[in-house]
Structure 1
Amino acid sequence: MADLILRPPEELQKCLLENDRRPDPDHTLAAIKHRQRLVRFWGVTRGASVLEIGCGQGDCTVVLADAVGSEGTVVGIDPGADDYGTPSLRAAHKHVKASVVGKQIEFVRSDAAGYLTSPTVLDRYDFIVLSHCVWYLAEPGLLTEIFELAYRYGRAPTVLLAEYGSVTSVPAAIPHVLAAVAVNALESLLRAPSFRNIKCTATPRQMRDAAAKGGWVMSTSEFLEPEEAQRDGWREVVMILEKPYSKMFEDHVESLDVGEKTKSMLLAARDAVHESVQRVDGGLAKIRNMDVWAARFELAEASS
């Protein structure tokens, strides 16, 4: 919604707790601007009730809370432990709750399935939001499960989704695309999830299919080019090429109970990331985020 009045991103930036180990205020500000574009595209309305699945430290939560205003509510759920992440979920959520948008936010420790099926949760929301959390899911079937449970338990008439689109309109983001492919391939072969952010990538087509299986119809979608200062792509590339992560990648490949052909494929995927960085003007420091796919889904029965 173009007429949605939002706070200046600099004001919302104060609502988020910065990473004290490696502060990056330019990235934080750019990420807020990106999420403000998402809520406008999605059509989030003033006074709405929102369930955000996989809220993390609250990066999108504060933007959603600003969009719905003091008359709206945002419930952010995340399965992570209190000490997970940097800053920790505990510290980040405490900071968000004390901010100018904190009164309309509630944080709950829960995975999606547990919350959607809980007999103690009686709420029905205007929107369910999945913002940059799909690639964190451990298995591809979990996204379908989320759509199915949201449909079965009548939690909301609309699901709003944003995730990396596995493509880019910016050459400097090619390393991010290749890094996602390399990490996804490795993670799919490891016996246990690693420290890496990406667990299981999904393309726009796969996300549409997951929604359709769960009883939802896509009403609109669009690819968005992220802000230049966003650093998520850079981080994913660093976690493959830079020490100590480069050694961890090699060790994980070597530990796999697979043939040499598969190991060679994984190392070739890593090398492709390296070669693509060499072709970016400015090198590693100028890596951009790949394009983001944003979509809005409605209940199939309601749209027919």
Structure 2
Amino acid sequence: MKNHLDDITKLMALGPTADSYAVQRRQTAHRIAIADAWQVQAGENILEIGCGQGDLSAVLADRVGSSGHVTGVDIASRDYGAPLTLGQAWDHLLNGPLASRLTVHFNTDLTNSLGTLADQHFDRIVMAHSLWYFESANALALMLNNLRAIGDFVDVAEWSLQPTALNQIGHLQAAMIQGLLYAIAPSDVANIRTLITPDTLTQIAHDHTWTYTPGQLIEDPDLDDARWEIATTNALLTELKLSTNLRDRVKPQLEAMHHNGTATLPTFTGRITF
């Protein structure tokens, strides 16, 4: 497993900091754990929604082998992201040995239309750490309804709002503050918008006569995501045009967040079957 993990990590575009390889290695290991939980098989044709910079895409492409394929779509443009943009990360990935197994589409919103994907059928549709980017649970339901035409189920993975350790509470607070700020002042700069949970997915499935089946919980507390979200939450107070009173009310929560640990929340997995 160690060599396998390192082989995939070496295919990824790395940021400019000295610890970028170690950071990427942790992210890749987490995606391998997700693929394991989903039981991804060789030869599958997979659609990944919210592919971002390709962290999971590379793991899936490695897993499906030369007879499989992974199509990544993201609502963002090529120039979105930092310290590397999505375009830079994907250009690097598509110049590597997994290129023939990968396709990517930027600026693609499947909530409104399937576009060029409408005439395809996928063995598996997946979403990992992209559920919280939806502007509402209804927007997610609309997209899932479209996806019924090109797949039989969607495997999901997202942070759980139920911490299993006290030092994960900082990550929990960051997520909840961002979700609340988006509800009060919706903005394109928001990183977290709607806190989709297993209960949300169960309700969506019930409303559409689908089935939501919970999977396993993945614990990776040493990931960097908690630190990133805490930093993002602080930045939002500067970027959003909030009233002075609202800023003053949020500040004590931000101060508490910094004292409640930087361990990453567990990740829940599950499947919506149409």
TM-score (norm 2): 0.90
Corresponding position of 2:203: 209
Corresponding position of 2:238: 248
Corresponding position of 1:291: 266
Aligned pairs (5 A) from 1:68-147 = 68-86=64-82, 87-109=84-106, 110-114=108-112, 116=114, 118=115, 121-147=118-144
Q: Is the 8 A contact 2:168 2:260 kept in 1?
A: no
CA distance in 1, matches of 2:157, 2:135: 17
Aligned pairs (5 A) from 1:192-271 = 192-228=186-222, 230-241=223-234, 245=235, 247-248=237-238, 252-254=241-243, 263=246, 267-271=248-252
Identity among equivalent positions (%) equals 22
Which of 181, 184, 188 aligns to 1:186? It is 181
> Greater CA radius of gyration, 1 or 2?
1
| 1:19/1:148 CA distance change after superposition, 3 Å | same
Structure 1 stretches lacking a partner, 5+ long: 281-286, 300-304
Deviations 1:215-244 (A, max 9, x none): 43123422221241x111111112234xxx
| 1:7/1:204 CA distance change after superposition, 3 Å | farther
Deviations 1:58-117 (A, max 9, x none): 11111111111111010001121121112112111111111222210000121123553x
Q: Which runs of 4+ in 1 moved over 6 A?
A: none
Corresponding position of 1:10: 6
DSSP 3-state at the match of 1:218? strand
Q: Is the 8 A contact 1:140 1:202 kept in 2?
A: yes
TM-score (norm 1): 0.82
Corresponding position of 2:61: 65
> CA offset at residue 55 of structure 1?
0.5
Structure 2 stretches lacking a partner, 5+ long: none
Give the aligned CA root-mean-square deviation in angstroms. Answer: 2.4
1:275 aligns with 2:250: no
Deviations 1:255-292 (A, max 9, x none): 7xxxx6xx3xx754542342243254xxxxxx111111
Aligned-partner residue type, residue 33 of structure 1: A
Corresponding position of 1:41: 37
Q: Is the 8 A contact 1:175 1:276 kept in 2?
A: yes
Aligned-partner residue type, residue 253 of structure 1: L
